[in-house]
Structure 1
Amino acid sequence: MVGFLGLAVLFASALAPKLASGQTTVTVQGTASHAIPETLWGLMFEDISHSGDGGLYGELLQNRAFQKVSPGTSAALKAWATVGSGSNISVVAASPAISSALPNALQVVVSGSNSGVSNAGYFGINVNSAWTYTGSFFYRFPTAPSGAVTATVGLRSAGGTVYASTTVSLKATTSWTQATFALKPSSSAGITNLFTVTFSGWTGTVNLGMFSLFPPTFKNQKNGMRMDISQALQDIKPSFFRLPGGNNLEGETAATRWQFNATLGSLTSRPGRVGGSVILSWGYVNTDGLGLYEYLVWVESAGMQPIMAVWAGYSLDGSSISQSGLAPYIEQARQQIEFAIGSASTPMGSLRASLGHPNPFTLNYVEVGNEDFLSQASGTYTYRWTAFTNALKADFPNIKFIATSHVNNPVLNPTPQCYDNHVYQTPTWFMQNSAQYDSYARNGQTYFEGEYAAISTNPNDLYGTPADGRLTYPTVASAVGEAAFMMGLERNSDIVFAASYAPLLGHITQNQWTPNLLPFDAGTVYKSTSYYVQQLFSVNRGDQYLPSTLASTSGTVFWSVVKSNSAKTFIIKVVNGGTGASSLVFQLPSAVKSSGTLVQLTGPATTSNTPSAPNAVVPKTSTITTAQELTFSAPAMSFSVITVPLS
């Protein structure tokens, strides 16, 4: 940060005056200070708290291919159990294996009728009678039976009530063969359900592997995304999707980092990996069914563009690749970018085309690493940034590369065009720092507020337990604090080109971090107070920022005014984080119609939307009387959006 520049001059007036009546007067200028970037509001994703496997990714079966488990252990049977009294199961090192990527299989010894195996899914399986489920599994017999064997696959309750069932004829073969099926439930049945494969009239041993069960997916995409989560995210109207994650990109070691090429092609060619970090207590097996291709297809179909990260030589165990050893990792990053945007005549572009997308995807931003402001990472980021960026920029001159160190600390060469800043703090901190970017130099550098959230009420123990103030779900106060901060991002969107709350998703029974923007379980999504703030900003972003009288950063009332030239409206956003109502008078720069729309989120400060009260606080829409001099009373602890049509 190189001193105060620009914005206070642009606003050309002192802090908002209070009239004798207690009203705050806000004078809005008619000349825009800058255009609002189309990329401003978006989503940050990584597979934590089963955000991917068991969340956004549509696959219903957990531990479907016995990836990264130790054969013969009880842990290898996670989510699997026997059905009936006549079966015994274990995970074995298959010989032969389904593929080199999938060396393990489930061995089922059947000795009785109506016996087999069940899978509990990702903490439940949603049974919906309106859906047809499509599934498959691989099988082989260690010793070929005398004839075909009939297996019954189905969906049933934990108590044994069958909701869907069909039979599959298994050939008498010692070679791996895929069986496919469809299931149509007769009734809906919540989420406490099992997927089953059972046998009757046959005894013997069969090996099973690479199971899959999908409900209908978002836009019916193959190997696609869960519909309700996808729709809730699309309803935010986000512009970008940061992928494939932060810590989950880095991996605990270089060997367990996320590698794009291991996530491509058939599901049988994807070995999976232990994602995240056991050190940080949130490592679990990622199937990598949600791979780079699936990310890019989904992002494109949802009307977003990717902000894609490449691994940059640092892992969560604190180790960095030496400067002399970076070349193969730089080449892998180059291939990752080429897969996304290379022509079909390039090696990686040809691979993408073979998967079904001959035209390049859109890709304008690439992030080099993740959170390289951490002490152990920052010491090596100078040479890693230089090596990666110089090499990648030579091949992809139109890409903007994002640095992940502290801004200008250390000094990087080449000078970054963009920085990614992260902050987790209290609601009060976010209100007090709404002007954070006001003093940033206008020197050509731009900023991505890639992760931010109000996570605790305790500034002295941000990462503690709920007893220490850590939030389990976003509250009204945390959402209002974030809204005040977002007004500062909007005001400074001449240099802040993108911003995203984090984490995005979290399974309510498997949280490894709280709070999350969109909590979910196997059957339901729960829209948080912060979700609604993100949505209201994104849907009401406008295209021109109008300077206005500045709010006091020591106060609790904040505002932002934008203009939508396409909709011919002024859009006024108001935060009141105080304990009482606040009256404001907005002096607009031109005549307006006499009626507008008010959308308001308000409630008791500590209230959250939870699974037991999912709609405790939701935005309310009403008609509001408007005028060129518009008086508005902002309720305590509220975020309001006023849309005012121009005359």
Structure 2
Amino acid sequence: MLPVSFVSLGLLAFTTVARAVTVSVSATASHPIPTTLWGQMYESGDGGLYGELLQNRAFQQVTPGTSGALNAWQAVNGATISVIKETVPVSPALPNALHVVIPSGRTGQVGFANTGYFGIKVTAGSTYTASFFYRFPTASSFRGNAVISLQTTGGQVLASTTAALSGAQTTWQQVTVTLNPTTTPSSTSNRFVIALDGAAASGQTVNFAMLSLFPPTFKNRPNGMRADIAQALVEMGPSFFRFPGGNNLEGGTVAQRWQWNATVGPLVNRPGRQGDWGYVNTDGLGILEYLQWCEDANMQPIMAVWAGFALGGTSVAEAALGPYIQQAIDQINFVIGDPTKSAPAALRASLGHPAPFALTYVEVGNEDFFAATSYVYRWKDFVNALKAQFPNLHFIATTNINNPVLTPKPTEYDVHVYQTPTWFAQNSFFYDSIARDGTKYFEGEYAAISTNSSDIFGSPATGRLTFPTMQSSTGEAAFMTGLERNSDIVFAAAYAPLLNHVSASQWTPNLVSFDAGAVYRSTSFYVQKLFSLNRGDQYIPSTLPSSTGTLFWSVVRATATQEIIIKVSNTVGTSAPLTFVLPFNTVASSGTVQVIQGSATTSNTPTNPNAAVPVTNSVSTGKTFTYNAPGFSVSVIRLVAH
């Protein structure tokens, strides 16, 4: 995901006066709604969805000896700590270690601490799993216990255990312990601490590597997902999960690209990589973890393969593409290959998943309109090779639609747009005019991010949103009614970006925000959830909204429950009446309506996380009924009709 708008359309005149509208609904469906329609797009996971609590846990991709290499680490009670390039690294992938010297003359516990990702949430009654590798660079007669603990920044011990360390251990030894807090502190300003008795360990030097701390994870997966964030995402009922990005796929250079084979197996074998947003990706959340997460959340993956372009501007020459195409083939074989015929598939089986994962869609690159000229040959060479190996897969192109013309002709395109709330409302008819020529579309990234059409990517002072607002969310909902209406050709759509740590925002707004202790569901989160959980399986034509209006709707049928589901977005502050005329023989006299509403600037924030949330009420219905859509609202009406 990059701060650009991919869809170039002229703005239409915008009417701000609501008027009564009669909506006549068809008796028959025009097309089935794809089961994949609503899902999620994801970039990277350290400090967020991925459950690891320690930041800079393995000193990956840092420069030894610098203060930056100690990011998130602190000395405790006079210890001397530094990051060194190990002479005997814990693994070829992890060359660095934490060098800890216990000085003479200290008493009490002396060691080091990690402050987590801007804090560590500690909950009484939960079990935390901690692990680390250690070795003594020079053999000594030291024998003693390391005290491993969770503490407040004020030094209150919340949980503690011990592990015996031996000075004779000059090769790497892994230690794993559990911590069971009995107190829940009022703050997340807590630390993970490893310390030795200062007097007993006086003068000792110990190196540490690959340190880790996990809370209970979603579905108790080892190396799994942070439970509260995962639960929020599952709550939306997504059908797909797009990974590993986005720009997270591409890398600033060819060497920094995401590589599936560097993200599998033991954590000590994962070198990590410099991410595209200024921080290091540990790759603890690797391809297997992504796929397991899709299974756990009942989503299908939409997986990208690197396609020869890095964000710094490098396009691999056509004659040099062979190894990268083979890496993409191996990546797909890891997911769906036969372990008896493919080494990557055999690796998958050895890691506990002999059966293939589900996979239908593979994205070839990301936002390749930035390198459209080279994408012509890169697309051709990648897709021809991949199609020959995997004829049943669908391959998604990432340039602008038919610009340039690609061969073979794409069966799917990924379209991205970041714009204003007004733009989204005005362009809800974008796909109505797209040719029905067999090509399908993935609205892979979209969000209303600013109220200033002349400076979409400016600061908040010029309109850039910090959190979604009811104005932005209703604009998105208007656009989504168009996606649903055109779901004969739009097979999938995802708001982006998905997640944001409020203590380290680099892009705003986001669908879900969080900090070390809590998750904050935005107004756009609830709009996505309303559409996803009320998607229906057949689209029902009705009187069309005005493309220049402020009121938008979509009608679908859920055949299993014999319900009609009507979604309405009112994109201005004035309430607006709609009269629905239903042609069915039997129509219930009442139904339910879920409504989220607020002022234009209403946002769910950490200080007011529930400023606007959906409320469910009963609504009078019938073959003809009128519904008054509140200002800046999204409504979902469900009623039995057949």
For the aligned pair, the TM-score class normalised by the smaller chain equals over 0.9
**1:208 counterpart residue number:** 208
Match of residue 51, structure 2, among 39, 48, 58: 58
What amino acid maps onto 1:41 in structure 2?
W
- Among candidates 352, 362, 380, match of residue 356 of structure 1: 352
Q: Aligned Cα RMSD in Å?
A: 1.0
Equivalent residue number for residue 193 of structure 1:
190
Moved more, 143-152 or 127-136: 143-152
The reply on whether 1:98 has 2:90 as its aligned counterpart is yes
Q: Which residue matches 1:35? A: 32
Opposite residue 458 of structure 2, the aligned amino acid is G
Instruction: Pick the aligned partner of 1:496 from 486, 490, 493.
Output: 490
Deviation, 1:646, is 2.5
- Amino acid of the residue matched to residue 21 of structure 2? T
Q: Counterpart of 1:319 in 2: which secondary structure?
A: coil
Gaps of 5+ in 2: 1-17
Aligned-partner Cα distance in 2 for 1:78–1:599: 46
* Partner residue, 1:419: 413
Count matched residues: 615
2:395 is matched with which residue? 401
Does structure 1 residue 520 correspond to structure 2 residue 519? no
- Please, which of 464, 475, 491 is the counterpart of residue 458 of structure 2? 464
3-state DSSP of counterpart to 1:53: coil
Q: Indicate if the aligned counterparts of 2:142 and 2:201 stay in contact, CA closer than 8 A.
A: no
Aligned pairs for 1:235-634 (under 5 A) are 235-276=235-276, 282-345=277-340, 346-374=342-370, 377-590=371-584, 591-634=586-629
Residue 169 (str. 1) matches residue 164 (str. 2): yes
| Amino acid in the other structure paired with 1:297 | Q
Q: CA deviation at 1:248?
A: 1.1
Find the residue that maps to 1:46 and give its secondary structure: coil
Tell me, what secondary structure is at the counterpart of 1:254? coil
487-496 vs 139-148, greater mean Cα deviation? 139-148
Once the two structures are TM-superposed, the CA of residue 263 in structure 1 deviates from its matched residue by 0.3
The 3-state SS of whatever aligns with 2:407 is coil
User: Are 1:330 and 1:388, in contact at CA under 8 Å, matched by a contact in 2?
Assistant: yes
Identity over the aligned pairs, expressed in percent?
A: 60
Specify whether residues 121 and 22 from structure 1 end up closer, same or farther in structure 2 by C-alpha distance, changes over 3 A only: closer
* Aligned partners of 1:170 and 1:179 also within 8 Å: no
Conserved? CA contact 1:60–1:125, under 8 Å: yes
Answer yes or no: is the 8 Å Cα contact 1:449–1:500 preserved in 2.
yes
Q: CA deviation at 1:22?
A: 5.1
Deviations 1:587-610 (A, max 9, x none): 112121112111001001111000
Q: What is the deviation of 1:373?
A: 1.2
Q: Which amino acid aligns with 1:80?
A: W
| Distance in 2 of aligned mates of 1:129 and 1:630 | 52
Q: Which residue is 2:114 aligned to?
A: 119
Equivalence for 2:7: none
Q: Say which of 61, 65, 72 aligns to 1:72.
A: 65
Q: Name the CA distance, whole Å, in 2 between partners of 1:194 and 1:44.
A: 32
Counterpart among 18, 23, 32 of residue 26 in structure 1: 23
The CA deviation string for residues 171-201 of structure 1, in whole angstroms up to 9 with x for no partner, is: 3310100011100111112311000001102
Counterpart of 2:519 in 1: which secondary structure?
A: coil
Deviations 1:218-261 (A, max 9, x none): 00001000000000000000000000011110000001000000
The equivalent residue for 1:15 is none
How far apart are 1:559 and its partner, in Å? 0.6
TM-score of the pair, normalised by structure 1: 0.94
Q: Secondary structure at the match of 1:642?
A: strand
Q: Distance in 2 between matches of 1:573 and 1:262?
A: 44
The amino acid across from 1:199 in the alignment is: L
Partners of 1:589 and 1:222 in 2: CA distance: 53
> Which of 98, 102, 111 is the aligned partner of 1:110?
102
Assess if the C-alpha contact under 8 Å between 1:528 and 1:609 holds in 2.
yes
Matched residue, 2:174: 178
Deviation at 1:130, TM superposition (A): 2.6
- Residues in 2 aligned to 1:611 and 1:128: alpha-carbon distance in whole angstroms: 20
Residue 334 of structure 1 and its aligned partner are, at CA, apart by 0.4
State the distance in 2 between where 1:553 and 1:624 align: 27
Cα distance in 1 between the residues matched to 2:583 and 2:138? 83
1:144 aligns with 2:139: yes
User: Residue 10 of structure 1 corresponds to which residue in structure 2?
Assistant: none
Counterpart code for 2:580: F
Give the Cα separation in 2 of the matches to 1:226 and 1:488.
34
The answer as to whether partners of 2:64 and 2:85 remain within 8 angstroms in 1 is: yes
Provide the C-alpha distance between the structure 2 equivalents of 1:22 and 1:209, rounded to a whole number of angstroms: 66
Measured after TM superposition, the shift of residue 275 of structure 1 is 0.8
Secondary structure of the structure 2 residue equivalent to 1:108: strand
Kept in 2, the 8 Å contact 1:561–1:571? The answer is yes
The whole-number CA distance in structure 1 between the counterparts of 2:349 and 2:64 is 37
> What are the superposed Cα offsets for residues 440-489 of structure 1, whole Å, 9 maximum, x if unpaired?
11100000000000000001000000001000000000000000000000
Amino acid at match of 2:387: K
Query: Counterpart of 1:328 in 2: which secondary structure?
Result: helix
For 2:288 and 2:575, the matched residues in 1 are separated by: 50
For the residues of structure 2 that align with 1:514 and 1:384, how far apart are their CA atoms?
32
| 2:631 pairs with one of 616, 627, 636 | 636
User: For structure 1, which segment, 584-593 or 499-508, has the greater mean C-alpha deviation from structure 2 after superposition?
Assistant: 584-593
Report the CA distance between 1:95 and its aligned residue: 1.5
Q: Kindly report structure 1 stretches of 4+ aligned residues shifted beyond 6 Å.
A: none
How much does 1:147 deviate? Answer: 4.3
Task: Point out the more displaced range, 106-115 or 330-339.
Answer: 106-115
CA distance in 2, matches of 1:283, 1:23: 51
* 1:44 and 2:38 are equivalent in the alignment: no
**Matched residue of 2:556: which SS?**
strand
Contact 2:471 2:572 survives alignment (8 Å)? no
| 1:509 to partner: Cα distance | 1.3
How big is each residue's C-alpha offset from its partner over 1:504-557, in whole Å with a ceiling of 9 and x where there is no partner? 001001111100000111111100000000000000000000000011011000
Contact 1:551/1:558, CA 8 A, preserved across alignment: yes
* Unaligned 5+ runs, structure 1: 1-20, 277-281
* Native 8 Å contact 1:53 1:59 kept in 2: yes
Structure 1 letter corresponding to 2:638: T
Partner AA of 1:498 in structure 2: A
Match of 1:12 in 2: none
Secondary structure at the counterpart of residue 625 of structure 2 = strand
SS at match of 1:601: strand
Partner secondary structure for residue 548 of structure 2: coil
